[in-house]
A = this chain, B = another copy of it.
């Protein structure tokens, strides 16, 4: 059965194409009640389904939103996507999704594909990389904007895109202060490669705040920005713990720049028989849902991921001129893993 076209509906209702269009698709001009009724009935009889592609072509806007995330199966991004999705639904928009597996080149391709599909706006979520790696996406995004598209970034600035900024610096600072308030003085920084900007922001702010609070970063460990990276750091952290114990010092407090690293680290420490928080304290960042039921429960900085997704969509659909560079909050959540 071929799909009914608007023309078929118009024929059946014995009106013109124009009238049928006005009735069926939120036009400002509504025909008389009798016609409206006839058209509605005809559409229902025929099981008419509007062709969004044709509509898009005629209107030259699609109502589509492009969302590119670095890994949709990662809770960080799926939570953002959830918020974005729900906001999009409220605004009556559909979202095109791309997951790049953390490959900057794939980010570029995704933006290009979205541009081809004439999305009204694209949201790029995830940490930025080095300037060199970011260049291709930035350029693609600039082209997209130049031809009338709107660009939003959830993370760090990229070209002239609107930015929804995770409170990395503020959160890390607050965490450092909270930990200092608990009496921690000797910290280990578990960070990620320099190209991961998010990790650098958190590590940098944490370091500064520790110094300001007369604490000390006794060592910095660099590992992959993942659970396995945290796991890999376990042996070194265990050594540090032992050294501290022998020197009669307080157990060190590790700040892992993301929760998953903290979890991997704790897993390894458990295998090594190092108690958390008895012999080492651990704090993370993000407050992924898992943390709540983790044993020991893990101190972290909670950031409103879903809300950030919503904000991004709000910025994407905003009327021109409305700049929605909203500030997003954070909250330090002290749990067992840093208890003294």
A residues apposed to B, CB below 8 Å: 1-3, 47, 49-54, 56-57, 62, 67, 71-75, 78-79, 81-82, 85-86, 89, 94-99, 101, 106, 112-113, 115-118, 143, 146-148, 227, 263-264, 266-267, 270, 290, 292-295, 306
Contact = CB atoms under 8 A, between A and B. Distances in A.
Contact of A85 (B62, B72, B85, B146): B72
Contacts of A292: 267
A227 B292 CA distance: 11
A85 B190 CA distance: 31
A85 B97 contact: yes
A249 B325 CA distance: 62
A73 B79 contact: yes
A85 B56 contact: no
What's the number of copies of this chain in the assembled complex? Answer: 2
A146 B112 CA distance: 33
Nearest to A83: B73
A51 B96 contact: no
Contact of A71 (B73, B82, B267): B82
A306 B99 CA distance: 13
A148 B2 CA distance: 8
Given A72-B82, A75-B78, A267-B293, A97 B99 contact: no
Contacts of A71: 82
Which residue among A79, A82, A96, A117 has the maximum number of chain B CB atoms within 10 Å of its CB? Answer: A117
Nearest to A306: B73
Contacts of A146: 1
Contacts of A86: 99, 101
A295 to B, nearest CB: 4
Contacts of A270: 295
Contact of A94 (B117, B294, B295): B117
A275 to B, nearest CB: 12
Contacts of A306: 73
Nearest to A296: B295
Contacts of A67: 97
Contact of A99 (B62, B82, B266): B82
Contact of A293 (B3, B52, B85, B294): B294
Nearest to A47: B143
Which residue among A53, A98, A148 has the maximum number of chain B CB atoms within 10 Å of its CB? Answer: A53
B116 A49 contact: yes
A52 B118 contact: yes
Nearest to A295: B295
A51 B1 contact: no
Contact of A72 (B3, B78, B106): B78
A112 B47 CA distance: 11
